[in-house]
């Protein structure tokens, strides 16, 4: 496929091959929530660097990771992909994951990272996936944005927009979140990719009436790449001709994607360099990280088991 793009197409622009590399490629590491329980960002760096090596030499050059949603509702089905509920911890892990994946982006051993899901996806109401959120501006600025801010500082190549709306405003079509905050406030310079079919979801969210209307709402908000929907490839030319989308907007989105490909050195080395993976060494590293992620309770005061008539006070927002 890459040969067709590079050698047999009009412009010869290399393709990006992307994959959901969550906690390992060929070598399975502990889930993200377990790694974060170590409170040691080095474990995230090690997991990401090994995953990047195995992914890159398998032909993948962009991974949809790290997942930086702060999660405070245990009912949500994607808690295990997160770093938990603590903003400081998630910030430290965000930096470690990005640096572990990307390293020297021009190297055959690295991949571009994608910070997801921007933003507020982990606060889905009732723990229901794809659902709405109610988040105050204060919480967005001081809590929810924190790990994404750190990922941008670390130079993350791409950001994935989230499915949810925030207080009625879908992120996929939000200029406030995708342009004003992400680019203007955080200083992000890479490209934004939609989540799977999230452009099309603008119909359910009440922003668009027809499939084709979704495209101009998304790209005008600052969404550069449409994943899976194909609404950009099918309808953007029509909207440019109708004046609903400017040619400058399309050019800007294309340029952002090309800049990431240039930074990765894809134009100089578009083809993967298959290498034999040292599975023994990688499994040994995974075992060490698994051991560090385990939390053991030492009962040296003979506190446990509690006597039957013991009263226990549970205090805090999650009780």
Could you list the active site residues?
195
Q: Are strands 165-166 and 169-170 parallel, antiparallel or unpaired?
A: antiparallel
**Tokens describing residue 183:** 């680019």
User: Closest Cα partner for 32 from 80, 73, 78?
Assistant: 80
> What letter would DSSP give residue 302?
-
The answer to whether the CB of 172 falls within 8 A of the CB of 201 is yes
> What letter would DSSP give residue 270?
-
In Å, the largest CA–CA distance within the chain is 78
Exposure of 107 by Cβ count < 10 A (0-12 exposed, 13-18 middle, 19+ buried)? middle
The answer to whether the CB of 191 falls within 8 A of the CB of 182 is no
> What letter would DSSP give residue 67?
B
Beta bridge partners of 115: 159
Question: How many whole angstroms separate alpha carbon 183 and alpha carbon 193?
Answer: 14
User: Closest Cα partner for 171 from 125, 126, 216, 217?
Assistant: 217
* Residue 139 CB contacts under 8 Å (≥ 6 apart), including other chains: none
CA atoms in the 13 A half-sphere facing the CB of 260:
28
The answer to whether the CB of 231 falls within 8 A of the CB of 199 is yes
């Amino acid at each position: 496929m890459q040969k067709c793009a590079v050698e047999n197409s009009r412009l010869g622009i290399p393709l990006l091959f992307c994959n959901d590399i969550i906690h390992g490629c060929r070598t399975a590491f502990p889930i993200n929530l377990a790694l974060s329980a170590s409170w040691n960002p080095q474990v995230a760096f090690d997991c990401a660097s090994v995953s990047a090596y195995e992914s890159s030499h398998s032909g993948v050059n962009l991974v949809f990771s790290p997942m930086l949603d702060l999660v405070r509702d245990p009912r949500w089905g994607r808690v295990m992909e997160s770093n938990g509920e603590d903003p400081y911890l998630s910030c430290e892990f965000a930096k470690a994951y990005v640096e572990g994946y990307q390293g020297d982006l021009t190297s055959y051993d690295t991949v571009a990272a994608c910070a997801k899901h921007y933003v507020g996806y982990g606060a889905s109401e009732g723990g229901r996936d794809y659902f709405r959120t109610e988040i105050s501006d204060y919480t967005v600025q001081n809590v929810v944005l924190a790990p994404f801010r750190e990922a941008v500082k670390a130079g993350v190549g791409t950001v994935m927009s989230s499915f949810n709306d925030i207080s009625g405003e879908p992120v996929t079509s939000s200029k406030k979140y995708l342009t004003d905050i992400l680019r203007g406030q955080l200083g992000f310079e890479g490209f934004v990719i939609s989540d799977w079919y999230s452009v099309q979801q603008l119909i359910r969210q009440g922003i668009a009436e027809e499939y084709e209307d979704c495209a101009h709402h998304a790209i005008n908000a600052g969404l550069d790449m449409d994943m899976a929907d194909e609404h950009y490839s099918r309808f953007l030319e029509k909207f440019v001709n109708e004046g609903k989308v400017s040619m400058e907007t399309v050019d800007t989105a294309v340029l952002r994607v090309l800049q990431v490909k240039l930074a990765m050195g894809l134009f100089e080395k578009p083809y993967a360099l298959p290498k034999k993976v040292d599975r023994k060494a990688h499994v040994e590293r995974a075992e060490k990280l698994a051991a560090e992620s385990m939390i053991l309770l030492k009962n040296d005061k003979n506190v446990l088991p509690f006597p039957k008539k013991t009263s226990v006070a549970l205090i805090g927002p999650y009780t």
